Chain A
Amino acid sequence: RKEVEQDPGPFNVPEGATVAFNCTYSNSASQSFFWYRQDCRKEPKLLMSVYSSGNEDGRFTAQLNRASQYISLLIRDSKLSDSATYLCVVPGDSGAGSYQLTFGKGTKLSVIP
């Protein structure tokens, strides 16, 4: 299994729709997970952190299933501005208290008027 694997997309959804992205990870020791958003030709920006079973922030909900090594991101009431690539990110131990990030390839979302 690849370290971090995501739905390839692209997802083309109408405004107001609910869309869900999935991500699986291979390192069973991972404790925390992130969803980042990356706009075209820009740096990734943190969207949500997931430390326990899940996290909710407004229209965004992230869920974690440790047994299945599976993370999901749910976006409700999609807005045009949600169009971006969503990256599933898993930290790994680089040693000496630092942690490198392993990125999934990302799932592209296009919200259509």
Chain B
Amino acid sequence: GAVVSQHPSRVICKSGTSVKIECRSLDFQATTMFWYRQFPKQSLMLMATSNEGSKATYEQGVEKDKFLINHASLTLSTLTVTSAHPEDSSFYICSAQTGENYGYTFGSGTRLTVV
């Protein structure tokens, strides 16, 4: 089946640094990629929707200058957390729609810890 490869799976970074998370679709083209964030014991919350070749659409309350999304090709979308702070520590996960009838595939997630 369709696979979305996400890495890194885990990253620890210092406050003020930037972290890039990559999601690649394998064996299919992901026109749209969704980026979610999940805090402990909370639901997955949509951060932004990225479309290949155009600007991402951010959900209310998500800073577009802090969470940079690039979707330059049909198989790669990246999320960069800039100037990371401890409150950005969370589980970040991407998802791509793989076809009709709402088929979705999730990446394996990235656990970010900012110290």
Q: Could you list which residues of chain A lie within 8 angstroms of chain B, going by C-beta atoms?
A: 32, 34, 41-46, 49, 51, 87, 91, 94, 96, 98-106
Interface contact B102-A44, CB-CB below 8 Å = no
**Which of B36, B97, B109 has a CB less than 8 Å from the CB of A98?**
B97
How close is B97's CB to chain A, nearest CB, in angstroms? 6
Which residues of B sit under 8 angstroms from A41, Cβ to Cβ? 91, 109, 111
Residues on B close to A: CB < 8 A?
A: 31-32, 34, 36, 42-46, 49, 51, 57, 91, 93, 95, 97, 101-102, 104, 106-109, 111
Interchain CB contact under 8 A, A32 and B101: yes
Chain A residue contacts of B108, Cβ below 8 A: 42-43
Q: A98 contacts B49, CB within 8 Å?
A: yes
Residues of A within 8 Å of B44, CB to CB, are 44, 87, 101, 103
How many contacting A-B pairs (Cβ < 8 A)? 53
In angstroms, Cα B93 to Cα A101, docked, is: 13
**Which B residues touch A100, using CB under 8 A?**
34, 46, 49
User: Are A101 and B43 also in contact (CB < 8 A) when A32-B101, A91-B102, A94-B49 are?
Assistant: no
A–B pairs, 15, beta carbons within 8 Å: A32-B101, A41-B91, A41-B109, A49-B101, A94-B32, A94-B49, A98-B49, A99-B102, A100-B49, A101-B34, A101-B104, A103-B36, A103-B43, A103-B44, A104-B43
The smallest C-beta distance from B98 to any residue of chain A, in angstroms, reads 11
Q: Across the interface, which residues of A come within 8 angstroms of B106, CB to CB?
A: 43-45
Query: Is the beta-carbon distance between A101 and B95 smaller than 8 angstroms?
Result: yes
Given A94-B49, A98-B49, A99-B102 in contact, is the A105-B107 Cβ separation under 8 Å? no
- For the complex, give the distance between the alpha carbons of A87 and B38 in Å: 13
Contact A49 B102 (CB under 8 A): yes
Candidate in A43, A87, A102 with the most chain B CB atoms within 10 angstroms: A43
Residue of B nearest to A34 (CB): B102
Q: Inside 8 A of A99's CB, which chain B residues have their CB?
A: 97, 102
Find chain A residues with CB under 8 A from B32 CB.
94, 96, 98
